[in-house]
Structure 1
Amino acid sequence: MTAYNTVAWFEIATDDPDAAERFYGETFGWKFNADTGMDYRLITTDGGAPSGGILGTGGTMPKHAVFSVAVEDVAAVCKTVEQLGGRVVVQYAASESAPANAYLLDPAGNLFGVFTPRG
């Protein structure tokens, strides 16, 4: 069962995902599995289930490391964030390869993500 409104994922975005995979793999012993669709590598630890991913940006977006919060309704959270002085950077509808998600800025300009887990 999903615990909504909790940090449930992290992402490291880079234009050199192979180097990031080597760095984090050798530093922490993380393992990586390719996800379908875009250049996304699911991170697993000795603890089991994926808890994050490395996104290969292809140079199309800024590099970042960000936490994501599991929410019931991405669109509603985006609206609330804007009402509270934050900003929606980008919002995506659910697709076959990804859940509904968004990247947001808090009022201080800090990037974070939200997503609605599948099922």
Structure 2
Amino acid sequence: MGAPVAFFEVSSPDHERAQQFYAELFGWKVAADPAMGGYGLVDTAAGEGAIGGGIGPVEESDSPGVRIYVRVDDLEQSLRRAEELGGTALVPPTDLPAGWGRFALFADPDGNTVGLWG
């Protein structure tokens, strides 16, 4: 039995900008909590059983980071939109072996590498 991804977290030195970036790119709802230093819980609006996450400031002992793949309907459009919002394309849409779909990679404005999978 595998261990499915159950949560994701993005940390940023400018967490408010990161929250806005991901909300605009994927249509996510981010509920920032001032009592938690602005950490925002994410609702991906993908329905029951969807993976949720959080976006917040970089912890003192950590560095900015995100290591997730996000499933999208259109890799090319999502990669273009990421660039429009200040991201950088790293790997163009590329076929995965054995019919596993396609992927692309971009760096968000903080340099975090994010995968798109379609």
| TM-score, reference length from structure 2 | 0.44
Compare the two structures and name the one with the higher helix fraction: 2
| TM-score, reference length from structure 1 | 0.44
